Amino acid sequence: MSVGWTGVRSWLLLLPLLAVMTLIIGWPLIETVRISFTDARLVGGESHWVGLANFSKVLASPQFHQVLWTTILFVLISVTAEVVLGVLAALLLDQQFVGRSFLRALMILPWALPTVVNATMWRLIYNPDFGAFNALLTQTGLIADYRSWLGETQTALYAVCLADVWKNFPLVALIALAALQSVPRELKAAAIIDGAGPLARFRTVTLPYLAGPLTVAIVLRMIEAFKVFDIIWVMTRGGPANSTRTVSIFVYQEAFSFQHAGTGASAALMVVLISAVLISTYVTMLRRQSEIR
Amino acid sequence: MLGKTRTLLLSAAVLSGALMGSSGGHAETALNALFMSQAAYSEDDVRAMTADFMKEHPDIKVNLEFVPYEGLRDKTLLAQGAGSGFDVVLFDVIWPAEFAQNKVLRDVTDRVTPDMNKGVLPGAWTTVEYSGKRYGMPWILDTKYLFYNTEMLSKAGFSAPPKTWTELQEQAKAIKQKGIVEYPIVWSWAQAEAAICDYTTLVAANQGQFFDSSGKPAFQKGGGLEALTYMLNTEVEGLSNPHSREYLEEDVRRVFSSGQAAFALNWTYMYNLANDPKESQVAGKVGVAPAPGVEGKTEASAVNGSMGLGITTTSKHPDEAWTYITYMTSKPVQEKYARLSLPIWAASYTEPSVTKGQEPLVAAAQKSLGLMFPRPTTPKYQELSTALQQAIQSTLQKSESPEQALQSAAQSAGGL
């Protein structure tokens, strides 16, 4: 009886929050779904039911294929680099040395920076006339002339990826560092006594503790990277020659620049769908991890 | 319980009375106005003009908001979509078609007085017109001029700026060969509207067309194709700064002002800034001329890059908004702030207060403003512009030939 009442009371207490969440998250989502089946425009005019026409139009569009591929490339390059750098940084910061706490605090800075600030900063670093990146590479003799890193199709996407990696690898590093601290000291000591080298120790002792949290970090970063908009919009606006145009920029241009709210919404829903797959992977992993514990 | 309710009601009444009292005292109308903080009038100029207006009209309060040009259209549309927001908006010459069709701007044809009609330069009116109606007052009268570094030209042995685009290419070659500057020409070719403005100037020079008389795309042949081919050639020959592909107007100004280019195509506002020693290392060496023409076709070329001020359909104070617009676009105000943007009034061009100290600019303007070539007037302009930006960029990146790139842009434009 009392359990029943607790259940009812919990729901009652949750009700205001649920109502607010339905309003803030549910309603726009339902509206987006509704609009995606119509030929609605952003401003003015009536909208009509068009069934799945928007979805088939988007799926058949070579432009959508191109932006999808660019997005996947962006996700693969950025997340891989972030994970490798993040783990290396975490391993380093897990060692005992003077100034460790200071470095740990310092490392959070890039991650705490607003994306727009980070993007503007990297635009300046890449500036073809006075950018620090060009200065560094010419002064060390790696390139002969200043280059337009964001103005060339061959380099623009990688340049944006680097800016994204710089901002986001600290998140991976933080998660990895937390995991590293849960590795029992006795285990490490035992491995050393048994004569295991650094690589063998990393593989057999550290990695099993790192794997779970790291997968979570990877999935989180993938979801974020898949939706990327702001850093690209500020740095290149999708250029040069659409070489950095991602799915979110496609959605934005469809819905807002071209006022095709219908096709924009349907493309947005496809992004949601892909994100949902990633999120469900994330949740499954979280659950599996807690089961292990 | 009853006592509590009574107290509550009483305090609510007192509170609402106090609120009404505070707003009722002045009978003040508040207008929200949206401007851009980029090129033409500076933010400080617009604030100063508005402050003077509020002094003259103490019953009207104008709240100003500034966004970069890139955000101006979306901000206007989204505020409209939300059904609230701005009373007065700054709009670009390429938007009236879209704004009229979507009922964003009010038709103000009947508000324009015969004096305004007569006094404003005829070319300026095209900025605010669509389907024979007017959707605002022209305010920023602007086109792209050819700026040149007089010292570099004379070092290379030229006494006058080029009259044709071919001549410009020859002068640039000579300047490069003499080692005066590595890349003599700088443009704003980033994947943005700025690239379309440079392209349109060249289309106008080559007597090209965006659409033929039957409404079919025509930029993929004739003058339109020649324009893009010219852009590519100057890049291949090493005459155009290759970084132009990521430059916007402010980058062009910076490169030219730091003495890294002999020629630049840019808006009016660059003239006085490039001649300001605080902003520029080439102050006093800046020449300005109409953008060149093409031999046997045109004497000079110009793109219509003007902007207007309009009243939104959602505004609850259209009369006050119009009072504000007529003040901002009035002859005395425009003449007072003529350093960064030239007036829309024909008579202003002989006023010493306007011409003094910028005689070369005014002389160039008198020729260019009469030639201003429009970008296509279509409600789907954004899609066309995006397709063209892509075509220009893939040509300049050498991933497609000008023919291929413009052909595919024409195909997508044909489907609009």
Distance between start and end Cα atoms, chain B: 67
Query: How far does Cα A121 stand from its chain's mean position?
Result: 19
Rounded CA-CA distance B107/B128 in Å is 10
- Look at residue A188 and tell me whether its pLDDT is greater than 70: yes
Q: pLDDT for A62-109, tens place per residue?
A: 999 999 999 999 999 999 999 999 999 999 999 889 999 999 999 999
Phi-psi region of A7 (alpha: psi -120 to 50; beta: other; left: phi over 0): alpha
Rounded CA-CA distance A155/A147 in Å is 10
Q: Which of B70, B74, B243 is nearest residue A148 as measured by Cβ atoms?
A: B243
Select the more confidently predicted residue: A220 or B13: A220
State residue A243's pLDDT score.
95
Residue of A nearest to B103 (CA): A44
* B contacts of A148 (beta carbons < 8 Å): 242-243, 245-246
A 33-62 residues with CB below 8 A of B?
41-45
In DSSP notation, B167-215 reads HHHHHHHHHHHTTS-SS-EE---STTHHHHHHHHHHHHHTT--SB-TTS
Q: Which of A42, A148, A236 is nearest residue B81 as measured by Cβ atoms?
A: A42
* B contacts of A70 (beta carbons < 8 Å): none
Q: Which of A129, A148, A253 is nearest residue B386 as measured by Cβ atoms?
A: A253
Q: Which of B102, B243, B247 is nearest residue A43 as measured by Cβ atoms?
A: B102
Residue of B nearest to A148 (CA): B243
Residue A256's nearest CA partner among B369, B102, B134, B114 is B102
Residue of B nearest to A255 (CA): B74
State residue A205's pLDDT score.
87
B 184-203 residues with CB below 8 A of A?
190-192
Verify whether the Cβ–Cβ distance B246 to A239 is below 8 Å. yes
B98: closest CA of chain A, how far (Å): 10
pLDDT band at A2 (very low <50, low <70, confident <90, very high): low
In DSSP notation, A19-68 reads HHHIIIIIHHHHHHHHHHTB---SSSS---B-TTHHHHHHHH-HHHHHHH
Verify whether the Cβ–Cβ distance B390 to A241 is below 8 Å. yes
Q: Return the residue matching tokens 């104070």.
A: B317
Q: Which of B81, B191, B382 is nearest residue A258 as measured by Cβ atoms?
A: B382
B386 reaches A (C-beta below 8 A): yes
B65 reaches A (C-beta below 8 A): no
B57: closest CA of chain A, how far (Å): 33
Q: What is the mean pLDDT of residues A25-53?
A: 89
Verify whether the Cβ–Cβ distance A41 to B102 is below 8 Å. yes
pLDDT band at A292 (very low <50, low <70, confident <90, very high): low
State residue B25's pLDDT score.
45
B408 reaches A (C-beta below 8 A): no
Verify whether the Cβ–Cβ distance A259 to B77 is below 8 Å. yes
Look over chain A and give the mean of its residue pLDDT values, rounded to a whole number.
91
Rounded CA-CA distance B203/B301 in Å is 9
Most confident of A37-46, A213-222, B267-276: B267-276
Question: DSSP 3-state assignment of A258?
Answer: coil
Interface predicted TM-score (ipTM) over 0.85: no
Q: What is the four-CA torsion angle of B337, B343, B344, B350, rounded to 10 degrees?
A: 140
Rounded CA-CA distance A113/B102 in Å is 39
Verify whether the Cβ–Cβ distance B77 to A240 is below 8 Å. no
Question: Which H or E run contains B329?
Answer: none
Question: What is the DSSP code (8-state) at residue A206?
Answer: I
Residue B196's nearest CA partner among B227, B162, B234 is B227
Residue B230's nearest CA partner among B286, B180, B301 is B301
B108: closest CA of chain A, how far (Å): 20
State residue B8's pLDDT score.
47
A187: closest CA of chain B, how far (Å): 55
B182 reaches A (C-beta below 8 A): no
Verify whether the Cβ–Cβ distance B192 to A239 is below 8 Å. yes
A50-54, A201-205, B52-56: least confidently modelled range: A201-205
Question: DSSP 3-state assignment of B289?
Answer: strand
State residue B80's pLDDT score.
83
* B contacts of A151 (beta carbons < 8 Å): 190, 242-243, 245-247
* A contacts of B398 (beta carbons < 8 Å): none
A28 reaches B (C-beta below 8 A): no
Helix segments in B307-378, DSSP class H:
318-328, 331-336, 352-355, 359-368
The pTM of the whole model exceeds 0.90: no
Question: Which H or E run contains B33?
Answer: strand B29-36
Q: Which residues pair with B33 in a beta bridge?
A: B64, B88
Q: What is the four-CA torsion angle of B244, B248, B251, B255, rounded to 10 degrees?
A: 40
B75 reaches A (C-beta below 8 A): no
Question: Which H or E run contains A231?
Answer: helix A230-235
* A contacts of B190 (beta carbons < 8 Å): 151, 237, 239-240
Sheet of B286-292: strand order equals B185-186, B263-266, B145-149, B286-292, B300-301
Q: Return the residue matching tokens 């279509």.
A: B378
pLDDT > 90: percent of chain A: 64
Question: Which H or E run contains B387?
Answer: helix B381-396
Q: Return the residue matching tokens 């088939």.
A: A56
Q: Which two tokens stand for residue A250?
A: 């496609």
Q: Return the residue matching tokens 């294929």.
A: A65
Q: Number of CB pairs < 8 Å for A and B?
A: 84
B383 reaches A (C-beta below 8 A): yes
Which of B189, B245, B314, B399 to mutate to test binding with chain A, by most A CBs within 10 Å of its CB?
B245
Write out chain B's pLDDT in tens, 416 residues.
444 545 544 444 444 444 444 444 455 899 999 999 877 898 999 999 999 999 999 999 999 999 988 889 999 988 887 766 899 999 999 999 999 988 899 999 999 999 999 999 988 998 999 999 999 999 999 999 999 999 999 999 999 999 999 999 999 999 999 999 999 999 999 999 999 999 999 999 999 999 999 989 999 999 999 999 999 999 999 999 999 999 999 999 999 999 999 999 999 999 999 999 999 999 999 999 999 999 999 999 999 999 999 999 999 999 999 999 999 999 999 999 998 889 999 999 999 999 998 999 999 999 999 899 999 888 889 999 999 999 999 999 999 999 999 999 999 887 76
Tell me if B226 sits within 8 A of B170, measured CB to CB.
no
Q: Which of A45, A151, A257 is nearest residue B243 as measured by Cβ atoms?
A: A151
A47: closest CA of chain B, how far (Å): 13
Sheet of B29-36: strand order equals B60-67, B29-36, B88-92, B307-311, B137-140
- Look at residue A171 and tell me whether its pLDDT is greater than 70: yes
Q: Which of A43, A45, A257 is nearest residue B382 as measured by Cβ atoms?
A: A257
Verify whether the Cβ–Cβ distance B191 to A41 is below 8 Å. no
